[in-house]
Each structure stands twice: as C-alpha cells, then as structure tokens.
Amino acid sequence: MSKRQLAMVMDLNKCIGCQTCTVACKTQWTNRNGRDYMYWNNVETYPGHGYPKNWQESGGGFDAAGDLQPGKIPNIESDYGVPWEYNYDEMADGKILTPHQEPTWGPNWDEDVGAGNFPNDNYFFYIPRICNHCTNPGCLSACPRDAIFKREQDGVVLVDLDRCQGYRYCIAGCPYKKIYFNPKLSKSEKCILCFPRVERGLPPACSQQCVGRIRFVGFLDDKESQVHKLVNEYKVAIGLRPDYGTTPNIYYVPPVFSPNKFDENGAPIVESSRIPDAELEKLFGKEAYHQAKKTILAEHKKRKETGESELMDLLIAFQHQDMFRLDTNYYHDVAKAEGKKALAPVDNRYSKGKFTKFTTHYKVGH
C-alpha cells in the first residue's frame, strides 16, 4: 500500500455517455505509436459486452483466498476493435460510401442497446472506465519482472517501460483489462492517471474535460477532499467489482435515480426502478450498494424537504473547480526532499529503468 492514494469518484447518475473524456484521453496520450487502438478511458453501455469485449468474463484478479486467477489476453481485432475508414475521396467520383474493411467489432459497438423490453422496462446506463490504480493490482502481481510499480507518493500504478519485456501476463492478471499491449514498442502500457498533470495541480484530462461534471479527484486521506467525503464519510462511492479482490481506487456513485417502468397501458409504475438492483449488486457488491442507495435517496429527500444537504451539494458540483482537490505543494515537497527539481516528474522510473545510469528529458541512456 502506498503512503497516500489519489482517487477518483465518478457519479454515474450524471454520466451522459458523450465520450468527451475518451477523446480527451485519446488526444492526450493514445493517438500514436502503437497506442492507437487503446482506450485508456472508455465509456461503455451497461449492460453490454463492454470494452474490451466481455472483459468481466476474461479472468484475472484474485479469489477469496487471495490467489491470482488465470485470465485471457484479448485480441485487437475481435475484442478491442480497430478503427475503420471510409472512401471519402472516391465519393466525388460517384462511388457510394463504403468502409475499407467490414466492421465486425468496435469499442462502443453495443452503445445504448441495454436490456429489457422497450418501452416498458428497457434500461441501460453509462459507465466510464479507466485504470483503477488498485491497492492490490492484479497486473503488478502477474509481472515476473517487477516492471509494474505502485507509486509510494500517490498510489498511481505505472509500468516501468525500461523493465517491461512485453510478456503480457499483466493483461491476463488485470480483471478490468485496463492494461494494454503496445505491439509497436512491445511493451505494456496503461492509464497513468495523468500524473504529469496531477503533479502540476491539474486534474487528469478525462476529468478536466468532463461535460457532465461527474468526476471528482483528490487524495483519499485528505479530509477536505470531495473523494474522501464521498468514499469514506458518506460511503456513497464504491469501487467496481470489489469481488475481484484488487481494491480499486476509482469509485462510482451507483445510478440510483432511474426512471419508472411502465405498465401494460403505458403508465409509469410509481416507485419502480428500471435498473434492477441485481445488476448493481453484481457491479458494486450487495451490501455496499444498498447502503449507498439508502444514503443517497435519504439525502435527496432531505434536500427536497429542507433545502439542505452537504452530499447533494457535493454531487451537484456547482463549480467545476470544486470537484478537484489536488496538491501541487505536496509533490513539490516530495521532489525537494528527494533533491529533485520541482515540477520534474516525482517518479522517474517511468522513463528510467532501475539500473539505468543516466537519463535526460526524453532519452534514456546507459
């Protein structure tokens, strides 16, 4: 366990599935150099196959005894999906628009499909997913080369690209399938929680750009932070699939405000909820989910009746800046204590191997 833990809370009641976070991440980190197919941040429709396809059935994580479970390594074409392109240029010659290859799968293939029968009880919701920066990461446990590490300063899980040899056991070991193989570099890469931004006091790109204002970022041990209040005080934010045993540090406020179902005459069934509890129990754990639901509904009611509720104010997030409590001074102090220049990355193992003798800004030398 790291000294401190940076965490994110996503309020699923507010996510509109606009993929702005996905694009923010892609343009910042994954539009080049073999990362082109990766989505470190994706937004998937639940229920659905997810991204990569059927990640929840792909193994990894730990069993109740704490043993790492075997897992699968998804295929780029059939499980992640590769982008296809159209013949725009030929359209001037009167050709019809056709993709350059038959699309068979993509990262958001089953968007808005959901489950249930329209219009009576169909339902779906969006769930944005990034690396969970777990306290007990499956990827780290699977690596035979100590190439994955959890930063002492803030618990961000990173791949030491100098040590990584591209064996890909980490992909099998991560139950969320949020670590990817870069075939061009022959190394594994993953969400870095935008640590170069965070160290400078900026929220991760996905959070900064979030249109629905669903993402809170801060340190879990910071009593003033929004994430601390949501996760530790109100306990309305829960890690995804806690049964995987990795103790994720990206938390979700479960979608408890879903519309009423309709009866056979098309009239709303009062107090009914379209999203079945069973689905959310599976995602967040039975007890934790019901506890969170109870608290949110109670605070919602309180706010309606009295006009006051700290929790509701928090979740509304009147000012976007109120969703983040980052700590540039903290990183400066860590850098200072280690004799490094402030604003240089606090942990340079990401660009510098354990046995590397010297490093410059871009280049690693030996």
> Contact residues for another protein (CB under 8 A)?
31-34, 36, 59-60, 65-77, 80, 136, 140-146, 161-163, 165-169, 171-173, 180-181, 183-186, 351, 353-355, 362-364, 366
Choice between 27 and 272, CB closer to another protein:
27
Q: What span, in angstroms and rounded, lies between the C-alpha atoms of 275 and 257? A: 9
Q: How far is the CB of 239 from another protein (least distance, A)?
A: 18
Q: How far is the CB of 317 from another protein (least distance, A)?
A: 34
Q: How far is the CB of 106 from another protein (least distance, A)?
A: 16
Choice between 168 and 213, CB closer to another protein:
168
Q: How far is the CB of 52 from another protein (least distance, A)?
A: 9
Q: What span, in angstroms and rounded, lies between the C-alpha atoms of 2 and 142? A: 19
Q: How far is the CB of 186 from another protein (least distance, A)?
A: 5
The dihedral through the CA atoms of 228, 224, 211, 41 has a sign that is negative
Choice between 163 and 190, CB closer to another protein:
163
Choice between 307 and 365, CB closer to another protein:
365
Q: How far is the CB of 10 from another protein (least distance, A)?
A: 27
Q: What span, in angstroms and rounded, lies between the C-alpha atoms of 25 and 33? A: 15
Choice between 188 and 309, CB closer to another protein:
188
Q: How far is the CB of 86 from another protein (least distance, A)?
A: 14
For strand 324-325 and strand 215-219, is the pairing parallel, antiparallel, or unpaired? Answer: parallel
Our CA dihedral for 229, 42, 48, 277, rounded to 10 degrees, sits at 0
Choice between 183 and 259, CB closer to another protein:
183
Q: How far is the CB of 169 from another protein (least distance, A)?
A: 6
Tokens representing 163 are 């040590």
Q: How far is the CB of 80 from another protein (least distance, A)?
A: 7
Single-letter code of the amino acid located at 85: E
Choice between 99 and 166, CB closer to another protein:
166
Choice between 1 and 269, CB closer to another protein:
1
Q: What span, in angstroms and rounded, lies between the C-alpha atoms of 269 and 249? A: 37
Choice between 76 and 115, CB closer to another protein:
76
